Amino acid sequence: MNRREIAVLLAYIGKLDPRTARSDANEARDEINRWHELLHDVPATTEHGWDASKAAREHICTSAYRIQPADIIRQWRAYQRDQLARHTDPIPAANPDDPAAYRAALSANRQAVAAGTEAPSSHRQLTTGASRSADIGACLQSVGSPIPSDVQAALAPFRPGRTARQAAVAKGLPDPLGVPCPHCGVPKDHPCRDRRIGPDGTVHRNTLSSQPHPSRVEHAEASRSRPRTASPVPPPAAPNGTRSPRH
């Protein structure tokens, strides 16, 4: 703030707190010089929310002590910290192969945000809400699989279990990996294993199988076609708290 802005600020403070008003011209001039020496690097206003007069009014409303330049400086520092806390460095226009210019561009941007001449730059993010959920769902359906079809075909030999599972689902068949295998004992969502057990009970081979065992496929078909039975409904209780006998 320059001396004129300091004079306007002190006049405003004097209206809100008559204790700070100066009737003598020499005292007023000395007061302006003292405040200017301490607040010459603090702006009177910025385009992004800072106003020294509002800071002075807030102090007068919340404190019984006479306002001092340090009270304005304290709120200015708090404003700068808030601006920088909400700021995310954008990609500078400087050449990243020139470290000095790149750092200088980042520093200049942060200084502008701290000085209030530029607004903080925040991360762009998806917003939630019922109004956008349908749009997001439609967008995801239009995208389809994140893996292109030609890449899936190239990966098929290296993912035999997943490939077989996708092929079965595409044909409308039951998912064999959706149930545990009764033959090799692997749990749900795990590929079958080819095991060979010797006469002494030791396992001589335990490798992944490219195809599910036939018994697992049958188990998956039976699980899909098996009707779900409702849980039995208990008989109503008798008036004395005991269950009524079956008829």
Grade residue 244 by pLDDT with cuts at 50, 70 and 90.
very low
**Rounded-to-integer distance, Cα 189 and Cα 180, Å:** 8
Lowest mean pLDDT among 98-102, 107-111, 167-171, 228-232: 228-232
DSSP string spanning 75-138?
HHHHHHHHHHHT--PPPPSS-TT-HHHHHHHHHHHHHHHHHTSS-------PPPSHHHHHHHHH
pTM of the model: 0.49
Q: Which long-range contacts (CB under 8 A, 24 or more apart) does 227-230 make?
A: none
From 69, 63, 62, select the one nearest 9 (Cα to Cα): 69
* CA 223 to chain centroid: 40
Check residue 200 and report its DSSP letter. T
pLDDT tens column, 100-123 = 999 999 999 999 999 988 888 876
